[in-house]
């Protein structure tokens, strides 16, 4: 087994202990460190907490801050709640799907982009709002979405050269 993976897992478990009550917190923190949780992570946690791996999997798959699928290089989280929607979110939603050529919840085949939704992040007053990785973009329009994504694409291309 991957040594780094075991080390990451044990560090988080050290903080929370091995009581089954800590399972959700362990999964969430480990996810944040590792980006997503692989089957190996889940298996290891099951062993350490002495739980059936099916239970660990079922808990992990329940929560939206825990990813059991790897995500793209950039993760877009678009706020889909009503306050952002009435501020023009609908057009932006469609623009994002069109621009990336994937529906919400998916990752592009080249693994560059994951398109996810988020619930309200409390920036509704400048809605519609999306986060790309940790950056927030407000007052979105379809045109702005195109501009922003183009900037990212160009920056990525530049970095690869």
Partner 1 sequence: MIRARVLISGDPLSLSRGAEKTKLAIEAEISYYGLEDEIQVSYLTHADRTDILPIVMIYPEGVTYGPVTPEDGAYIVQEHLYKGRVIEHLFAPPEVLTGDIAHIPGRKGATYAQKRIVLRRAGVINPLDIEDYITHDGYFALAKALEEMQPEEVLETVKASKLQGRGGAGFPTGLKWSFVVQQPGEKYVVCNADESEPGTFKDRLILEGDPHALLEAMALAGYAIGAHEGWIYIRGEYALAKERLNKAIQQAKELNLLGDHILGSDFSFDIHVHAGAGAYICGEETALLESLEGKRGIPRIRPPYPTVAGFRGKPTVVNNVETLANIPPIIQNGADWFRSMGTERSPGTKVYTMLGDVNITGLVETPMGTTLREIINIYGGGMKDGKAFKCAQTGGASGSIIPPELLDVPMDFASMAESGAALGSGALLIAGEDTCIVDLAYVLLRFFKAESCGKCTPCRIGTAQMLEALERLRMGYGTQVDLDRLEEIAHYTKEASFCGLGQAAPVPIITGLRYFREEFEAHTRGECPTGVCPCSVKQKVKH
Q: Check binding of 79 to ligand FES (CB under 6 A).
A: yes
From first CA to last CA, the distance across the chain in angstroms is 34
What is the C-alpha separation between 77 and 145, in angstroms, rounded? 13
92, 68, 98: which is closest to 80 by C-alpha? 92
Q: What is the nearest approach in angstroms of ligand FES to the Cβ of residue 27?
A: 25
Q: What is the nearest approach in angstroms of partner 1 to the Cβ of residue 17?
A: 11
Q: Check binding of 136 to ligand FES (CB under 6 A).
A: no
The item of ligand FES, partner 1, none sharing an interface with residue 28, based on CB under 5 to 8 Å by kind, is partner 1
Q: Check binding of 84 to ligand FES (CB under 6 A).
A: yes
Helix axes 39-49, 53-62, angle to 10 degrees: 120
Question: Which of 9-17, 56-64, 97-105, 119-127 is the region at the interface with ligand FES (rule: CB under 6 A)?
Answer: 119-127
Positions touching partner 1 (CB under 8 A) are 19-25, 27-28, 58-59, 62-66, 80-83, 85-87, 89-90, 117, 119-126, 131, 134-139, 144
What is the C-alpha separation between 150 and 128, in angstroms, rounded? 19
29, 15, 16: which is closest to 65 by C-alpha? 29
Binding residues for ligand FES, per CB under 6 A? 79, 81, 83-84, 120-124, 127, 129
């Amino acid at each position: 087994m991957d040594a780094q993976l075991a080390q990451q897992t044990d560090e988080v478990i050290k903080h929370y202990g091995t009581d089954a009550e800590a399972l959700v917190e362990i999964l969430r923190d480990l996810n944040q460190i590792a980006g997503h949780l692989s089957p190996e992570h889940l298996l290891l946690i099951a062993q350490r907490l002495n739980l059936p791996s099916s239970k660990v999997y079922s808990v992990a798959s329940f929560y939206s801050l825990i990813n059991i699928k790897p995500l793209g290089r950039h993760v877009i989280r678009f706020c889909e709640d009503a306050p952002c929607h009435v501020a023009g979110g609908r057009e932006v939603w469609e623009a994002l799907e069109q621009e990336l050529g994937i529906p919400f919840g998916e990752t592009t085949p080249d693994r560059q982009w994951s398109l996810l939704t988020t619930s309200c992040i409390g920036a509704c007053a400048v809605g519609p709002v999306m986060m790309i990785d940790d950056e927030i973009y407000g007052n979105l329009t379809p045109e702005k979405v195109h501009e922003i994504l183009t900037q990212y694409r160009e920056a990525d291309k530049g970095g690869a050269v």
